[in-house]
Amino acid sequence: MSTESPDELPGRETRRLGSLRLRLTLALPLLNVLAVAAFEWSLGGDAPTPEGLARLAWLVLLLSAAQLLLVELWMLRPLRRLAAGCEAMESVPMPLTTDGEGAAPRLAVELDRIGHAMQRARDSLWQQEQAARELQRELTEQRQQLDQAQATLEANRRELASLERVDTLTGIANQRVFDEALRREFKRAQRQRGLLALAVLDLDQFRQFNETHGREAGDAALQRVAALLSTRFKRDTDLVARLGGEEFVALLPGFGMAEAQGVLESLREELRALRLPDGSSEQPLTVSIGLAAASPAHPYLSAQALLQAADEALYIAKHAGRDRLSLAA
């Protein structure tokens, strides 16, 4: 293995090529002389004349010149280019050296650069955290605004519902319509000395029903009850309404106490048979009913008094154990 430094090789090769060319320039004519002499000798002719020697000398000269030209073109020139290429490569500075002198400063520079990059990454992370916090704050603000808007919307919805005449959940008349109808029908009954029955119906343990089956099932139950009431009381003069929550009323012009009681008792049974919400409930949904009836024999001073009498009867039904109909005194 060579002990010379790789840095010395191109200079040395160039020198060797120069020396090789010199040797070839000397050696080729000599070899040609020998070759021609051997050739003449092999022919075994007479001793050479001066003209013959001159001709041979020219021949050797021409042959040598041609050979040197070929060697120059095919061998020496490519080799010189190769050597020049090696020298050019040597002149390019190496990006990394393994010698001890350059390595330490370069390492320091690299470490410094890495340090700066880490600092930049930390800065960027901090900025992103700030941006995320800002975003979170905006989100909280917007959520609060949304909550406020929802509360306002709900208040408006309630106000609108009170102005409307239909209960939005069940589709039957609402309290507003009922109040008007009660005043109107009471006056009519008074005027005509007719009959007017009023029933207040309140579903039993509905809070528990909601808790057991869910609020949606509770809504569905309220709709089923409203539908049942509408089916049972469908004369033109009848009015069923939802007063709110799980409380309904039935206003029955022309009905006395006994007549209304009969219809309401069968309705109570029908409701029990509904087996809400999905038919699998062990505990059927029941209703308590308070019934009051105005008649010439049993007049009330006002529509409000009639309603109060029905409410009191309902109260009694609830306190007597629910799932029953109670008549006003």
> Quick count: other Cβ atoms within 10 Å of Cβ 219?
14
Choosing from 14, 205, 295, 302, the residue that interacts with ligand GTP (CB under 6 A) is 205
Using only the alpha carbons of the chain, give its radius of gyration: 60
Which residues in 237-266 contact ligand GTP (CB under 6 A)? 245-246
Give 199's Cβ-side CA count (13 Å radius).
32
Which residues in 83-112 contact ligand GTP (CB under 6 A)? none
Choosing from 215, 258, 283, 320, the residue that interacts with ligand GTP (CB under 6 A) is 215
Q: Is the dihedral of CA 72, 75, 76, 82 positive or negative?
A: positive
> CB-wise, 202 or 238, nearer to ligand GTP?
202
Could you give the CA distance from residue 158 to residue 106 in angstroms, rounded to a whole number? 77
DSSP string, 141-174: HHHHHHHHHHHHHHHHHHHHHHHSSB-TTT-SB-
> CB-wise, 24 or 229, nearer to ligand GTP?
229
Of 70, 42, 71, 35, give the one whose Cα is nearest residue 56.
35
Most distant CA atoms of the chain, gap in Å: 182
Which residues in 47-76 contact ligand GTP (CB under 6 A)? none
Q: Which stretch binds ligand GTP (CB under 6 A): 128-136, 160-168, 213-221, 257-265?
A: 213-221
Site for ligand GTP contains 318 (CB under 6 A): yes
Which position among 134, 246, 265, 270 bears the catalytic label? 246
Which residues in 122-181 contact ligand GTP (CB under 6 A)? 169
Of 325, 158, 322, give the one whose Cα is nearest residue 250.
325
> CB-wise, 223 or 230, nearer to ligand GTP?
223
Q: Which stretch binds ligand GTP (CB under 6 A): 41-49, 79-87, 201-209, 291-299?
A: 201-209
Site for ligand GTP contains 222 (CB under 6 A): yes
Of 271, 319, 263, give the one whose Cα is nearest residue 291.
263
Choosing from 10, 29, 218, 290, the residue that interacts with ligand GTP (CB under 6 A) is 218
> CB-wise, 82 or 177, nearer to ligand GTP?
177
Of 299, 322, 307, give the one whose Cα is nearest residue 199.
307
Of 27, 39, 36, give the one whose Cα is nearest residue 67.
27
Q: Which residue is nearest to ligand GTP (CB)?
A: 218
How many residues form the binding site for ligand GTP (CB under 6 A)? Answer: 17
Angle at 180 between CA 175 and CA 186, to 5 degrees: 120
Residue 246 annotated as catalytic: yes
Choosing from 183, 207, 235, 319, the residue that interacts with ligand GTP (CB under 6 A) is 207
Name the token pair of 325: 């109909």
Beta strands per DSSP E along 237-312: 239-244, 247-253, 287-294
Q: How far is the CB of 256 from ligand GTP (least distance, A)?
A: 27
Site for ligand GTP contains 322 (CB under 6 A): yes
Choosing from 167, 202, 238, 323, the residue that interacts with ligand GTP (CB under 6 A) is 202
Name the token pair of 310: 């029905």
Q: Which stretch binds ligand GTP (CB under 6 A): 78-86, 153-161, 176-184, 200-208?
A: 200-208
Q: Which stretch binds ligand GTP (CB under 6 A): 63-71, 157-165, 178-186, 206-214?
A: 206-214
What is the contact surface with ligand GTP in residues (CB under 6 A)?
169, 202-208, 210, 215, 218-219, 222, 245-246, 318, 322
| Residue positions annotated with a catalytic role | 246
